[in-house]
Structure 1
Amino acid sequence: MTATTDAQGRIWLIQGTSTSGAVTSQLAYWAPGADDIVPAGSDVNYGYVYRSTFLISNNGRFVVFQGQEGDMATLTDTTSMATRKVDVGGNNQHTHIAVDNSGNIWSIGTGLGLRRLGLNGAVTLFNLPGDRPNQVIGFDHAQPNWLWGTGYAGASLIDVETLSNRTLPVHGLIEGLALNSQGGATLLTRNGTMTSTSYFLEYLP
C-alpha cells in the first residue's frame, strides 16, 4: 500500500486485497477522524499494486491512478471529487507520466516527443531540443513549470512554458530520482565495471 495527502488533509492510497487467489488494487482515501477507508469510485484493477502508477499534483488537488501500464487511468479532482477516465499512454507509446497543478498529464516515450493531455481532453505534442529524456518523473516543488526527467545522457529539466530542455550530467547511470520538498532532486547513480561497481547519491538544485 502506498499513500499521499491531498490539499484537504485526506490520505489517498492504493489498497490491495487478495480474495480467493485473485489480487486486486483500488484507489481509496481516508479522512482524519473517519473510521473507515473509502473507495474512490468503483474501478477495481486486477494485478499487484506495484504494477500501478499513483501520482498526486504538488498542490494536492489532482490524483492519477493507473492500474497497469497501458491501461486507461483515473483522474480525480480532490476539491470537487469529480472523477473521469483518461488515456494517459497515447496507445501505449508514452508510458511514463506526471501531473501538474492544473491537472494536465504529461508523458514521454523513448524516441518520442513530450505529450500533454489537458483537462478538456485535448492532446498536444511538443518536440524538445537537445537530448530528450526517456521518462518524466514529476514537477519541481519550487518551480512548478519545471518537469524532471531521466535519460541516457543524465537528468533532464524541461521548462514546460518555454519548452526548453536542459541536460544535467551525472556520475553514471541513474538508478532512481526523488524530488526534494524544497525544490531540486536527489539521484542514485551507478558506475563501474564487470568486477567493481560504485553508487553515488547526488543532489541537483
Structure 2
Amino acid sequence: MKKLFTLLFLATSMICFGQNKNFLKEAESLNFYGVDYSAAKVFGAAETPAEFKVAFDRINQLFITETKKYDVSKKLKVRVNEISLDAVNQVNGAINPQKLMTTDTNYTLSEEQIKQIVKALPTQNQPGIGLVIIAKLLNKAEAYGSYQVVFFNTDTKEIIQDWATGGKARGFGLRNYWAGSIYKVINNL
C-alpha cells in the first residue's frame, strides 16, 4: 500500500510541475475564488460533517487573514484582482452533510463534473480569468487531500486549463490539518 501511495504521490507531483501556464503570461490579472468543497468527500475522519463545513469556511478565510502564507499571486506571478470568497461560500454552504462522508478511497471527479462545478460557481459573469481550487477527496487515513486547480473564463465559464494535484495534510485542529494540504497545493502552482 505504501508503494502504491508513493507512486501516486510521485505521479501527481510530475503532473503538477508539468503544467503549461503560458496562458498566464498574457493575462494581466485574475480573480481568485478560493476552495470549492461542494463536491468533496471525506474518508476516515472522526469529525462530523457539520464540523467540516465550519472548517471549510475557516480554511477559505485564510486567503484573507494569512495572505502572505497563502499567496496565489506570488506563486503564479500574476496580479490577483480580487479574492472573492462569496461564490465558494455560497456553494459550500449548500453542502448536504449526509453526502459528505464516503467509504470510497478512490473517489474522484470526472471532467464533466469539474465543468459542472465551475458552471455552478456564482461569479456574476465578470469578464476575465478566474481561478478556483476544487476539493475532491480528503483522505484522513492517508493524510492527503486531492484537488483540481481550475483556470476558467469568468464570463463564459469555459475551462482554460486545469490539472489534478494534492498535498499532505498536517497541523493541529481540523482547519489547520486540511489547510496544510491547501498550502502544499498553492506551493505547487
- Fold shared, TM-score > 0.5 on shorter chain: no
| Greater relative CO, 1 or 2 (CA 8 Å, sep 6+) | 2
**TM-score, normalized by length of structure 1?**
0.25
**TM-score, normalized by length of structure 2?**
0.26
